[in-house]
Amino acid sequence: MINNISNILKTASVLQASSKHTATVIFMHGLGDTGRGWIDVMEMIQEKGNGHIKFICPTAPIQPVSINNGYRMNSWYDIKSLTSRGGENKHEVDSSKGIIENIISNEIENGIPSERILIGGFSQGCALSLYTFYTQKSTKLAGCLGLSGYMVLSSIFPELMKGTVNLNQPLRMFHGEDDEVVSFSWGQNAFETLKKEGANGEFFSLPFLGHSTCQEEYDLMTEFIKLRLPPQ
């Protein structure tokens, strides 16, 4: 995987700030999707009084995915099963974490303080955002949004997050109670593990929602972004 910033941004979908740029949201898509799949949601959030925010939706590298018989698709790391957690390759997860860290570093170099940068993601992208957020040892971020996700590398995650500067930074997680792809219990367990480790978060259960999103979720995401990244 090539992690230099010019290649990363070439495949990302970027929504520039519509007024003076003072904050950035980086949002990661799920398995088989691209950054383009989320840019409409980001536009909707930006239009609700968030013109000062730039939204970056990176696209995962194309690689073989075991649960799809080795078929190559956009994926942040290989997924071996949808019925049991674990088995992820730490090197692959760290490589994708490096992509997000490069975007963060680029934003900081362009004048946006790390505490004005918020990250989030959906499904596999949620797992990556949680991992990236809670393994930062010196880069304090504004917060994290996690939609319909789970804890990647769950057996070692609590150890890896020791010493994180983001333990007290706000987290907001969402999960559909009828999720047929990523079990509701996986999201709930991820949140409970994070809380046990001292994380500062909220978990929203969404009745009747499958592996998808809804307007209530968008409204709560917008509220969180406004709270964490107010205009300056």
Q: Which residues are catalytic?
A: 123, 179, 211
Instruction: Answer for the pair 166, 228: CB distance below 8 angstroms, yes or no.
Output: no
Strands (E), the chain: 13-15, 23-28, 53-57, 62-65, 71-74, 117-122, 143-147, 170-176, 200-206
Q: Residue 124: which of 158, 88, 176 has the closest Cα? A: 88
* Cα→Cα distances 95→23, 54, 172, Å: 25, 24, 25
Instruction: Answer for the pair 117, 166: CB distance below 8 angstroms, yes or no.
Output: no
Strands 13-15, 53-57: pairing is antiparallel
Angle at 64 between CA 159 and CA 76, to 5 degrees: 40
Angle at 226 between CA 138 and CA 207, to 5 degrees: 100
**Rounded CA separation 93/71 (Å):** 19
**Rounded CA separation 7/115 (Å):** 25
